[in-house]
A = this chain, B = another copy of it.
Amino acid sequence: MTQTPVRIGLIGAGRIGQVHAANIAADADTSLAWIADPFVAGAEEISSRYGGRVTDDPEELLSSGEIDAVLIASPTATHVHLIARSVDLGLPVLCEKPIDLEISRVDALREKVAARNVPVALGFNRRFDPAFAGVRARVAAGQIGALEQLTIISRDPAPPPPSYIAASGGIFRDMTIHDLDMARFFVPEIVEVHATATTTFDEGARGHDDFDTAVTTLRAESGAIVTILNSRHSAVGYDQRVEAFGARGYLSVANAPTSLVSLSTSEAVEAKPPYENFFLERYAFAYAEELREFVKLVRGQPSLSPTFEDGRAALLLADAAQRSAVERIVVPVRLT
């Protein structure tokens, strides 16, 4: 690329911020211009590896005049304010999910985003995984006929600590939200939500009236049914599978093998080692691809980045699932 790299201001130097920093540094189309984190040591460590100026105040970053776009990887509670400020300054945003845990705050921000016409992308990284994106493209190409059932298995390796759960908004807004966006990646128009959820193993979830196990079913306007199977633990490692079923057959996404080696003995045959532990390993490529699409968005080119509206729709669905699970009702939804 002969274009000037997009100068990115990264807000948040935690685990996911570090992933983004590494990708920004590795991509010839982006440069890491500023890093902001109240815990300034974290920002400084990133800076020492990938360059960029450091601050403990996001406002300094935003108003520096030295960035072309903002990547928000700070805690959820800060997202709405930071998106609003970025948009006010005309800076395109890539924000980690969710936009917020309160749909009222999201809706208030929505008008501003629409009015200013500044691109806001949401960090639904799985859309950029080659397997999921490939299945979607093949479904769109008619390889299995009309999509009738989409089944998503999504299980984290182990429950987060209780302190995380307390601030998470619950399993649907925190974890299922990724799968709800994946559902909409295939069938955007969802009209009805049902969720069954229980707490059988995680005392941390129980202590915060949250669930550790959930099955969510979505009815699409087309008649397609999406089923999402979630668990907060998984002995085999990060369990991320999808099956798209249609009239002509089905496309399956298997878990990523961690080795090409299998062992066959008198005990068991064709046994393989467990899967990748978690999302940083499983979606390493997807995070880099997510950044590449964001660059296109910043440059005004056609881009696959999920939008603010996608982020809002996922939260609406998560709210509906939460309500369904608690009140034991079926919840109609209207996403537009």
* With A149-B229, A229-B227: A267-B274 Cβ-Cβ less than 8 Å: yes
**A residues 193-232 touching B (CB-CB < 8 Å):** 194, 196-201, 213-215, 217, 219, 222-225, 227, 229, 231
Apart from A198-B223, A235-B264, 19 more pairs, CB < 8 Å: A135-B261, A148-B201, A149-B229, A192-B196, A194-B194, A198-B225, A200-B224, A227-B227, A236-B269, A250-B263, A252-B262, A253-B260, A255-B269, A264-B274, A265-B274, A268-B273, A324-B330, A328-B332, A329-B329
Residues on the B chain within 8 Å of A233, using CB: 247
21 example contacts (A-B, Cβ-Cβ < 8 A) are as follows A135-B261, A138-B263, A192-B328, A194-B196, A194-B330, A201-B247, A215-B227, A235-B247, A235-B248, A236-B249, A248-B265, A249-B263, A251-B263, A252-B262, A252-B270, A253-B260, A265-B274, A268-B268, A269-B271, A270-B272, A328-B330
Interface size class of A (residues with CB under 8 A): 35 or more
A79 to B244, CA, bound (A): 39
* Chain B minimum-CB-distance residue to A219: B196
Residues on the B chain within 8 Å of A249, using CB: 235-236, 263-266, 269
A272 to B200, CA, bound (A): 28
* Number of identical protomers: 4
Residues on the B chain within 8 Å of A275, using CB: 269
Check if A223 sits within 8 Å of B213, measured CB to CB.
yes
Residues on the B chain within 8 Å of A118, using CB: none
| A245 interface contact, C-beta 8 A | yes
Interface centre among A196, A197, A259, A324 (most CB of B within 10 A): A196
Residues on the B chain within 8 Å of A227, using CB: 215, 227, 229
